[in-house]
Copies of this chain bind each other. A is one copy, B any other.
Amino acid sequence: MSDDFDLPPGPDAGTDSNMFRDAEGHISPLWLERLRAYLEAGRHDDVAMVMAPLHHSDVGDVLEQLDAEERVALVQALGDKFDFSALTEVDESIRLEIMEALPNADIARGVAELDNDDAVFLLEDLEQQDRDEILDALPTFERLALKRSLDFPEESAGRRMQTDFIAIPPFWTVGQVIDYLRKEKDLPDEFYQLYVVDAAYKVQGTLPLDKFLRAQRATKIDAIMNTSFELVKAEEDQEEAARTFERYDLVEVGVVDESGRLVGVLTIDDIVDVIHEEADEDIKLLAGVGDEDVSDTTVDTVKSRVPWLVVNLFTAVMVSFVIGLFGATIDQMVALAVLMPIVASMGGNAGAQTMTVTVRALAMRELDGGRLRRLIRREMVVGVVNGVIFAILIGIVTALRYGDYQLGIVIGLAMVINMIVAGTFGILVPLTLDRLKADPAIASAVFVTTITDVIGFFAFLGIAGLWFGLF
């Protein structure tokens, strides 16, 4: 390989795949610099050479590191050597940007090489027109399989499933199956179990490969297959399917249509992505961030966050009106204005703690009858105990700060009330949203902090007004 560039020192990072990532697992800056140099110089063969050893996930990581123009340049430099499954590993905004920049014919060629589930993943977020153009450019069999998957609802098991699987009749022997596997060219890329089906493709049993391998050639399949197995409905939500996987420690599960016919399989790698997405969604929704990635544009980010901030502005103004009711009280005793945020802030934090535990328990389906009652009882007691602890602490601090034990008593009383309110609504708000079929992660935080703010200010200013006769 000729090397007439002014490249950084060090070993030949391009051919030594160990140098692709540094000790901490980050992509090596030296490696990336070399790739950029090749891209800029249009040296397509060298680009192909340094990219060749990379796993498609690593290619995805490289794409995320590059700038918008470099990404498209990389895909085009690689041409037919670009594995489109790398696009399943990048953030949605980057994926759409690259796919919009490529001619639909190129996408169709790349998609044709993919497993059905990866192809659906790439196509599902495209504009209807682009999608149709790409589908039309595919071979009939692939097109029909993809169309069927795309007909299932978004985020359903049917969307995520792989439509290649190995189905065998129950009356075959182990030997027949092995011979079939050795002969058949068109097998799925990866499979972990065989599906034993009748003529109507109804599943009679499953046979994990490890069990299958231990059986003698003459053994009949129906003598060794598992007759107790899980199946997932194609219309089912992917989160439900993920829970089934986790509950039964599965690596692969069959997907059936309404008539019970085996139409595809879900494998654990898809489910790991779902589990991640789901947890990520909960975290972001709790903080009032939409379905956002670090690679989103500024405009998308503003669009995602403004609605939550508008809601917060509305509730903050509402809370401010509550404080306004006590304007005359504050006017007579400025210390109240100085102290009031403490009560509200403690309530807000205690409420967030209870709420988070409740939201997670709901998400993991941990709140059946008995456990729910125990949780409610516990949170009430925790509210009272924490209320008393912090009432005493803040009471003492306040009494010392202002040399006024009565002010200490007032803030302590308000604290107990607000901590109990925080525990109560920290659990009731997400529970009510869940009963109303809303996602408790979305709006719980806004409701709970508004309640603890209002009650915090109201209790403190109200008790103070009564105690000191300021009304």
Within the complex, the shortest CB–CB distance from A301 to chain B, in Å, comes to 5
A341 vs B324: C-alpha distance when bound (angstroms): 11
Q: Which among A39-47, A102-110, A142-150, A208-216 touches the partner chain?
A: A208-216
- Say if the beta carbon of A414 comes within 8 Å of chain B: no
Chain B CB within 8 A of A248 CB: yes
Q: Which of B187, B214, B249, B288 is within 8 Å of A181, CB to CB?
A: B214
Check B216 against A191 for contact (C-beta < 8 Å): no
A276 contacts B by Cβ under 8 Å: yes
What chain B residues lie within 8 Å of A248 (beta carbons)?
55, 57
Of B209, B309, B345, which is within 8 A of A213 by CB? B209
Q: Helix, strand, loop or mixed for chain A's interface?
A: helix
Complex Cα distance, B211 from A190, in Å, reads 8
Q: Which among B247, B288, B305, B324 is the interface contact of A338 at CB below 8 angstroms?
A: B324
Are B178 and A213 neighbours in the complex by a CB distance under 8 Å?
A: yes
A465 CB, min distance to chain B CBs, angstroms: 14
**A388-404 CB contacts (< 8 Å) to partner B:** 389-390, 393-394, 397
Q: Which of A261-284 contact B (CB under 8 A)?
A: 268-269, 271-273, 275-276, 279-280, 282-284
Q: Tell me how far the C-beta of A271 lies from the nearest C-beta in chain B, rounded to whole angstroms.
A: 8
Question: What does the 1/0 interface line of A298-319 toward B look like (CB < 8 Å)?
Answer: 1001100110111011001101
Minimum C-beta distance from A443 to chain B (A)? 13
The answer to whether A283 and B284 touch (CB under 8 A), given A245-B272, A275-B272, A342-B313, is: no
B361 touching A342, Cβ below 8 Å: no
> Is A320 in contact with chain B by the CB < 8 A criterion?
yes
Shortest A123–chain B CB gap in Å is 20
B283 touches A394 (CB 8 A): no
Decide: A286 and B288 in contact? CB cutoff 8 A: no
Residues of B within 8 A of A370 (CB): 65-67
Binds B, one of A72-80, A132-140, A350-358: A350-358
A269 proximity list for chain B (CB < 8 A)? 249, 251
Cβ–Cβ contact B247 & A57, under 8 A: yes
A435 an interface residue at 8 Å Cβ cutoff? no
Of the listed stretches A154-162, A198-206, A289-297, chain B binds A289-297
Answer whether A294 and B375 are a contact pair too, CB < 8 Å, given A269-B249, A360-B284: yes
B65 touches A371 (CB 8 A): yes
Within 8 Å by CB of A216, from B182, B268, B288, B330, lies B182
Q: What chain B residues lie within 8 Å of A65 (beta carbons)?
A: 368-371
Known: A57-B248, A182-B216, A327-B335. 11 other contacts (CB 8 A): A67-B370, A187-B214, A251-B251, A276-B279, A283-B356, A283-B360, A286-B286, A294-B371, A302-B385, A330-B334, A345-B453
Q: Can you list 20 residue pairs at the A/B interface with Cβ under 8 Å?
A: A55-B248, A181-B213, A187-B214, A188-B210, A192-B209, A283-B286, A284-B357, A286-B287, A287-B356, A289-B353, A295-B374, A298-B381, A298-B382, A313-B342, A313-B394, A320-B341, A320-B342, A323-B338, A330-B330, A337-B337
